C-alpha cells in the first residue's frame, strides 16, 4: 500500500515537472523563423568572408575609373568623391540585392527549396529572412568603401552615413524580395532570371544618375529619371553623406525606399504562397 502511494506521488510530481503537450508543439514565431533563415543564408558568407572583399572589386574599379573624370566643382558640392561615393554604395546595394534570387534558383534545381517549403518555417519568413541577408554584406561593403575614400577628399559625416545606410537597407529588402519572386517565376528557366535582372539593373543605375549627373539630359530622359525611385534614394544619400539634413530630399528618398520595400514584400509574399 505504501509502495503504491509513493509511486502515485512520484508520477504526480513527474507530470507536474514535465512540459505540457502544448509547450512541446508550440511553433516559433515569425521573428524566430526569420532569424533562422537569415543565419542559414549568412553561414556560407561567414565561412568565406573573402567573398565580401571579392564583391568589392567592381565598385572600387568604378571609383578608380570614374571619379577622376568628375571635376571638383560646386555642381558636386565641392568634392567629386562626396558626390560619387553615395551613388557607388547605392549601386552595390542594388546589385547585391538583385542577386538574391540567384541562390534560390540553385536551391530550386537541387530540390533544397522544396524541402524548405514543407518545413514548419513560415513562407513569409523564408522570403524576409533571405531579403534581410543581403543587408549584411551591403553594410560591410559600405564600411569598406567609406574607409578607403576617407583619407582622400571625402568628408566623413557619421550621422548622415548611418541614416543613409538605414535607408539603403530598407531599399535592399524590397529589391531582394522582388529578386526572390523573379527566381520563383523563372523556375526551370534560369535564363529568364538573368535576362530580366541584367536588362533592368543598368537602366535603373543610369537613370538614377549614379555615374553622371542628369542635369543636362534631354527632356525624355529626365522624365524617365523622375519615375525611377532609385534616383530619389541616391539624392537623399548624397545629401546625408555630405552632412546636409535637407528634410524634403531625405523624406523623398525614405518614402521611395519604403515604397520599394512594400511593393517587393507584397509581390514576394504572394509569389511564395503560390509556389509549390
pLDDT at position 118 is 67
Q: For residue 13, what pLDDT band results from cuts at 50, 70 and 90? A: very low
Domain contains 25: no
Q: Could you report the per-residue pLDDT of 31-80, keeping only the tens digit for each?
A: 888 888 888 878 877 777 666 666 677 788 878 787 777 766 545 555 77
Task: Tell me the pLDDT tens digit for each residue of 131-171.
Answer: 888 788 888 888 888 988 888 878 889 999 999 999 999 99
Answer whether residue 9 is part of any domain. Answer: no
Answer yes or no: is 46 within a domain. yes
Q: Is residue 78 part of a domain?
A: yes
Instruction: List, for residues 73-102, the tens digit of each pLDDT value.
Output: 545 555 778 888 999 999 989 988 888 888
Could you tell me if residue 15 is inside a domain? no
Q: Which domain holds residue 39?
A: 31-274
Closest alpha carbon to 89 in 181, 160, 178, 151: 160
Q: What total of structural domains would you count in the chain?
A: 1
Quick one: pLDDT at residue 249?
92
- Does the pTM surpass 0.85? The reply is no
Would 55 be classed as within a structural domain? Answer: yes
Helices (H), the chain: 2-17, 21-25, 30-47, 50-55, 57-66, 80-98, 100-110, 112-117, 123-133, 135-149, 158-185, 190-207, 219-226, 229-241, 247-274
Residue 1 reports pLDDT greater than 70: no
Task: Confirm whether 237 is domain-assigned.
Answer: yes
215 part of a folded domain: yes
CB contact set of 271 (below 8 Å; sequence gap of 6+) = 180, 181, 184, 185
As a whole-number percent, the residues of the chain with pLDDT over 70 amount to 82
pLDDT at 23 over 80: no
Amino acid at each position: 500500500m505504501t509502495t503504491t502511494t509513493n509511486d502515485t506521488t512520484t508520477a504526480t510530481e513527474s507530470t507536474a515537472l514535465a512540459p505540457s503537450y502544448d509547450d512541446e508543439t508550440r511553433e516559433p514565431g515569425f521573428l524566430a523563423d526569420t532569424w533562422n533563415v537569415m543565419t542559414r543564408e549568412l553561414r556560407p558568407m561567414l565561412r568565406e568572408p573573402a567573398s565580401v572583399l571579392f564583391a568589392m572589386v567592381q565598385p572600387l574599379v568604378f571609383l578608380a575609373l570614374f571619379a577622376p573624370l568628375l571635376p571638383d566643382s560646386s555642381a558636386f558640392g565641392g568634392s567629386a568623391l562626396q558626390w560619387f561615393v553615395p551613388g557607388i554604395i547605392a549601386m552595390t546595394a542594388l546589385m547585391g540585392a538583385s542577386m538574391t534570387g540567384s541562390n534560390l534558383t540553385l536551391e530550386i534545381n537541387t530540390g533544397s527549396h522544396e524541402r524548405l517549403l514543407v518545413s514548419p518555417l513560415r513562407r513569409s519568413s523564408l522570403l524576409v529572412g533571405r531579403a534581410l541577408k543581403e543587408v549584411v554584406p551591403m553594410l560591410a561593403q559600405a564600411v569598406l568603401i567609406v574607409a578607403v575614400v576617407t583619407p582622400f577628399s571625402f568628408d566623413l559625416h557619421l550621422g548622415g552615413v548611418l541614416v543613409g545606410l538605414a535607408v539603403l537597407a530598407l531599399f535592399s529588402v524590397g529589391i531582394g524580395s522582388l529578386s526572390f519572386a523573379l527566381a520563383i517565376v523563372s523556375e526551370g528557366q534560369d535564363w529568364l532570371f538573368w535576362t530580366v535582372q541584367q536588362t533592368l539593373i543598368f537602366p535603373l543605375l543610369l537613370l538614377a544618375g549614379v555615374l553622371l549627373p542628369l542635369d543636362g539630359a534631354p527632356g525624355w530622359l529626365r522624365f524617365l529619371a523622375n519615375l525611377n525611385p532609385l534616383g530619389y534614394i541616391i539624392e537623399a544619400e548624397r545629401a546625408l553623406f555630405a552632412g546636409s539634413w535637407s528634410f524634403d530630399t531625405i523624406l523623398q528618398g525614405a518614402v521611395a525606399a519604403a515604397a520599394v520595400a512594400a511593393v517587393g514584400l507584397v509581390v514576394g509574399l504572394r509569389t511564395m504562397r503560390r509556389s509549390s
